[in-house]
Amino acid sequence: MESIKAVAERHHIPFRILIMKQSEGRPKPCGGQTALTKDVKDALVNCLLLCAEFGMPLEKRDLKRVVTMYLNRAGQNISDFSSNIPGDDWIHVISFLKRHEILSNRMCQNIKKIKGRGGCRRDAAVL
């Protein structure tokens, strides 16, 4: 069996990279590491979509509160967040809305009750 150093020289790969891959398995992804796990973020996205489906869209301030309450109840302390409250950069630039394209940041629109019920002009005349 060939040594790691010989393989590194033959394939022109730095020796340390092969050692790291052998000892740690898969290295962490490039860039900054996420503050929340993938499962937690997926559950949060599902919760936000469910709220929107019920006609209760949330603002970014509400999203911050939900994340803070989750972290406090789970007993976690994220050093990147001030008092476990994520900043605006976490929501927009760094991760959340950028990584979950199904979510969007929209302005609230006032609609009439008849339109909200899916009515048409004929129904409007009855009311």
Domain boundaries in the chain?
1-30, 38-107
Q: Are 41 and 100 in contact (CB under 8 A)?
A: yes
Q: What is the pLDDT of residue 127?
A: 37
Kindly report the average pLDDT of the chain as a whole number: 75
- Looking at residue 90, its pLDDT comes to 75
Position 125 scores a pLDDT of: 41
Two tokens, residue 36: 């929340």
Query: What is the per-residue pLDDT for 113?
Result: 61
Q: Which pTM value belongs to this model?
A: 0.56
The pLDDT value given to residue 60 = 80
pLDDT at residue 122 is higher than 60 = no
